Amino acid sequence: MRKEVLDRIRKALALASHEGTGEQEAKAALRKATKLLDQHSVTQADILAHETEAEKLKRAGQSVVSVRNTISEDKPVPQFGWTRSLACAVDTFFNCQHYTTKFKTMRPKIEWTFYGLAEQTVAAAQAFEMASLLSYCTVFIGLSVMADEEKEKAKQQTIKKELALLKQRQEQEAAEDKSRLERLRQLPALDVKTEVKEEEKPAVLDRRVKVEEVEDEDSFKPLSSSGSQSIADPSPFVVSGNSFLPFEPSPFAVQFNNYGRDYDDDNEPYIPPVTVEDADFDAADTLDDFDVDAELEKAKARTAMPSPLPPAPRKASTPPPLVPKKEEDDDESPWASVQQLVQFRETSIAIGDDFIKKQGIKLVTAKKRKPLEFKDPRSASSYLQGREDARSIDVHGRRKITDGN
């Protein structure tokens, strides 16, 4: 991919997001960037991969969730193990990282900081806050499982889309090959017709040359004057070399010198015109730039568009039918290939690491947690129920609108 294309896209995006850009200029810049992205098949992963270190740091950021004790502000905040599971699940959902900071002051608190791509960290902080307030401990284990499943699902969707694009490209190439072969089959018929026309054309020209060169008494018409003499007897002329010389002064000597092909007078002898009909096509024309089928379909679509039919009458007592809202197609992946997806995830993590180093923050690994143990069957049942309840939590904040709402 050319560096010039990526530079133009980055400049357009920078112009659109600049605080000094007007509304119309920002819209025009976004349209320009979108056009370049579609024209050159560039994705966000490609732009991130070719960014410099300074540009990556501009996109990096962090979002903080502060947790305090609601019973008494001067009491410390307990940190449970399931909150770590929630934070790790959020990291997987939004391709970011996190760390915690404890403040042992007069007003103790714990801050959960999510860092990485700025827009991703904002969504991660909102999801962490929402899930921690609406859920209980065993739900977070289910969220961790959901995060791993969604990550694998995104990969499978990308593979499916990549195979579909590959199949579509193969079908398009096969159609182009078939169309090319069809045009090649039509070329021999065009060549035969062209040869026939070309054989007829020199014959007509030969007849015209003979009329001009051969002396024919009947080929000359009288001059414009009705009383003038016609040239029927070539005896007044004597052949000498390659030209006719008059035997004695005659008004026709100047008119018919050099075999009668130079005329200095307006009263020229009449020679019947010979009409030559050329072929009305070019044999070198292969119709590569004209798709007849496509143009025909367009013409049919323009001329045979059906007029919209009015809706069927409905009784006043009959309520209108409820049209269910179409759910969003979750099978469509925004990535064109698995390589782009993996590249985006790796770049997001690398941007977060560079941001932490730039801030001068030193991270310490937390202690390893003990494995989960159930004291009684009721605890195990609650754990399984929590995993099922986690399915009802929408971490991404999307709302499903049902009929009638």
> Is it the case that residue 304 has pLDDT exceeding 70?
no
Q: In what order do the strands lie in the sheet with 60-67?
A: 60-67, 109-117, 97-103
Instruction: Quote the pLDDT of residue 393.
Output: 82
Phi-psi region of 245 (alpha: psi -120 to 50; beta: other; left: phi over 0): beta
How large is the average pLDDT for residues 90-94?
92
Strand pairing of 60-67 and 109-117? antiparallel
Which residues have a Cβ under 8 Å from the Cβ of 172 and sit 6 or more positions away? none
pLDDT tens digits along 16-64:
877 777 888 888 888 888 888 888 877 766 776 677 777 777 888 999 9
Ranges of each domain in the chain: 1-42, 59-157+336-392
The model's confidence at residue 200, banded by pLDDT at 50, 70 and 90, is low
How large is the average pLDDT for residues 261-289?
50
**326 residue type, one letter:** K
pTM value is 0.55
Instruction: Quote the pLDDT of residue 291.
Output: 47
The model's confidence at residue 80, banded by pLDDT at 50, 70 and 90, is confident
Q: Are 314 and 320 in contact (CB under 8 A)?
A: yes
pLDDT tens digits along 142-164:
888 888 889 899 889 889 888 98
Place of tokens 């961790």: 144
How large is the average pLDDT for residues 243-247?
48
pLDDT tens digits along 219-239:
555 544 444 444 444 444 444
Place of tokens 């007029």: 307
Q: Are 185 and 359 in contact (CB under 8 A)?
A: no
Measure the CA–CA gap between 74 and 106, rounded to whole angstroms. Answer: 6
Instruction: Quote the pLDDT of residue 322.
Output: 43
Q: What is the mean pLDDT of the chain?
A: 71
Instruction: Quote the pLDDT of residue 83.
Output: 85
Instruction: Quote the pLDDT of residue 205.
Output: 46
pLDDT tens digits along 179-192:
888 888 887 655 54
Alpha-carbon Rg for the chain, nearest whole angstrom, is: 44
Give the residue, 84 or 53, on which the prediction is more confident: 84
